[in-house]
């Protein structure tokens, strides 16, 4: 019973947050910069009548609240994110073609960074103060301190430009090689440097968090009890300490999702990887507000959804939540 109430509450919270995002989005792009029809007219060099037509189309001749807001919510919910000022094509269409590359990049690097970070963190915390711990902590802090964009630029300059071992940009060769396997290898080859950048950029953070979490857990009484029972050191670690220390990591991985997206945007731009990030940067440089707005909505919704999933995972992982 308790679990369902908890899930329902979390669902309601996620829903409210989504509404808030919608409101912020509307406020930022419709109320603050003034008349979007004017900005379209400026960038597409439209005549006055055309601008007026646009204004009717956007519903800008009606009062801001509630008419414009309702129209905007209607459009957004039905997947109409507006039309790009630059390409004059629907934003949702452009996002749909590019989102897969971003998912591929963010997905692989998140899995790699989390996995490796957790392993490094466990090793360090279990032998606190040892050579491995001090060394890995130093490396982790340094990696954490590097801006991903800069790391990407350095790797690009070194591996792609100077050594020519990896391609300098894009996600595929043009034209893509024939056959499924060469094509797969080609995609991996293009993915390697951006993925390495993001993985290195986040591995430090995860290993630091895992280390701290495990250090807190080691001090708990149940770990002492496990030791007192005479369990082998590795069994105490595997079955008692680590599973409990992993709990906060789940939330943090999800909360970090937003930061990883930020990193992905810069890294995609540096490697001209054709995902959402590079697309966003183009839109920023061209003041293409509908695109920026669409990306803002999509990423926010994705992160809110990820948070909701993390809350659900918690029900499964932490029995205390079920009982409350």
Partner 1 sequence: MSLIPNEPLDSSLMLRGSPPPAAPPKSPRRIAWDRRRRSLRESWNTFRENKIGIAGLVMLCIFIAIAVCAPLIVPHKQTEITSGSSINKLMPPLREAIPSTCHEVSQEGGSTKIACDTKFSMRYPMGTDGFGRSIFAQWVWGARISLLIGLTATVIAMAVGAVVGISGGFFGGHTDTFMNGITNWFLVIPWIALAIAMASVLGPSLLNIILVIAITSWASSARLVRSQTLSVRNRNYVERARALGASNWHIITRDILPNVFPIIFANTILLVALAILSETTLSIIGLGDPTRVSWGQMLERGFNAGASSLGAWWWLFFPGAGITLTVLGFAMCGYALDEILNPRLRKR
**Selected range binding partner 1 among 54-62, 76-84, 89-97, 147-155, rule: CB under 8 A:** 147-155
Binding pattern for the stretch 167-206 against partner 1, x by CB under 8 A and - elsewhere: -x--------------------------------------
The answer to whether residues 220 and 244 touch, using CB atoms and an 8 Å cutoff, is yes
Size of the site for partner 1 (CB under 8 A): 63
State the alpha helices, DSSP H only, in 1-147: 2-26, 36-44, 48-58, 69-77, 91-126, 131-145
User: Cβ closer to partner 1: 183 or 258?
Assistant: 258
17/305 Cα distance (integer angstroms): 10
Closest contact distance (angstroms) between CB of 180 and partner 1 is 32
Q: Can you name the residues that pair with 83 across neighbouring β-strands?
A: 90
When binding is defined by CB under 8 A, the residue of 104, 215, 247, 252 that contacts partner 1 is: 215
When binding is defined by CB under 8 A, the residue of 41, 193, 236, 292 that contacts partner 1 is: 292
- Report the chain's C-alpha Rg in angstroms: 24
State the alpha helices, DSSP H only, in 221-287: 221-228, 233-235, 242-270, 276-285
Closest contact distance (angstroms) between CB of 235 and partner 1 is 21
When binding is defined by CB under 8 A, the residue of 72, 257, 273, 279 that contacts partner 1 is: 257
When binding is defined by CB under 8 A, the residue of 216, 229, 239, 243 that contacts partner 1 is: 216
User: Cβ closer to partner 1: 242 or 291?
Assistant: 291
Q: Judge if the upstream peptide bond of residue 175 is cis by omega within 30 degrees of 0.
A: yes
For 32, the 3-state DSSP assignment is: coil
CB proximity list for 190: less than 8 A, separation 6 or greater: 166, 167, 170, 171, 172, 173, 273
Residues between 82 and 141 that touch partner 1 (CB under 8 A): 128, 137, 141
DSSP string of 65-88, one letter each residue: IIIIHHHHHHHHHTT---B-TTT-
**Selected range binding partner 1 among 23-31, 44-52, 64-72, 238-246, rule: CB under 8 A:** 23-31
Per CB under 8 A, does 263 bind partner 1? yes
When binding is defined by CB under 8 A, the residue of 52, 144, 187, 312 that contacts partner 1 is: 144
Residues between 55 and 84 that touch partner 1 (CB under 8 A): none
The answer to whether residues 199 and 113 touch, using CB atoms and an 8 Å cutoff, is yes
DSSP string of 133-188, one letter each residue: HHHHHHHHHHHHHS-HHHHHHHHIIIIIIIS--S-SS-SS-SSPPSSHHHHHHHHH
Q: Which residues bind partner 1 (CB under 8 A)?
A: 13, 16-17, 20-21, 24-25, 28-29, 32-33, 128, 137, 141-142, 144-151, 153-154, 156-158, 161-162, 168, 208, 212, 215-216, 218-219, 255, 257-259, 261-263, 265-266, 269-270, 280-281, 284-285, 287, 289, 292-293, 295-296, 299-300, 303-304, 307
């Amino acid at each position: 019973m308790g679990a369902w109430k908890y899930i329902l509450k979390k669902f309601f919270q996620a829903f409210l947050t989504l509404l808030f995002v919608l409101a912020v989005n509307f406020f930022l792009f419709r109320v603050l910069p003034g008349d979007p029809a004017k900005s379209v007219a400026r960038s597409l060099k439209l005549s006055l009548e055309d601008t007026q037509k646009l204004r009717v189309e956007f519903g800008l001749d009606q009062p801001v609240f509630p008419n414009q807001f309702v129209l905007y919510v209607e459009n957004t919910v039905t997947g109409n994110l507006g039309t790009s000022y630059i390409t004059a094509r629907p934003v949702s269409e452009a996002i749909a073609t590019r989102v897969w590359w971003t998912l591929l990049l963010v997905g692989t690097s998140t899995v790699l960074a989390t996995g490796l970070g957790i392993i490094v963190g466990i090793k360090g915390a279990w032998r606190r103060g040892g050579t491995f711990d001090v060394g890995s902590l130093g490396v982790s802090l340094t990696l954490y301190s590097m801006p991903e964009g800069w790391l990407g630029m350095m790797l690009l300059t070194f591996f792609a430009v100077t050594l020519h071992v990896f391609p300098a940009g894009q996600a595929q060769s043009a034209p893509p090689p024939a056959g499924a396997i060469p094509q797969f290898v080609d995609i991996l080859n293009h993915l390697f440097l951006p993925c390495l950048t993001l993985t290195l950029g986040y591995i430090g953070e995860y290993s630091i968090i895992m280390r701290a979490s495990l250090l807190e857990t080691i001090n708990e009484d149940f770990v002492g009890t496990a030791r007192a029972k005479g369990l082998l050191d590795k069994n105490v670690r595997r079955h008692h300490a680590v599973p409990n220390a992993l709990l906060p990591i789940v939330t943090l991985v999800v909360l970090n999702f937003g930061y990883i997206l930020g990193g992905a945007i810069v890294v995609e731009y540096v490697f001209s990887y054709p995902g959402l990030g590079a697309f966003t940067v183009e839109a920023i440089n061209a003041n293409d507000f509908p695109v920026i707005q669409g990306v803002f909505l999509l990423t926010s919704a994705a992160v809110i959804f990820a948070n909701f999933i993390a809350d659900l995972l918690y029900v499964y992982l932490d029995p205390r939540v079920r009982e409350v």
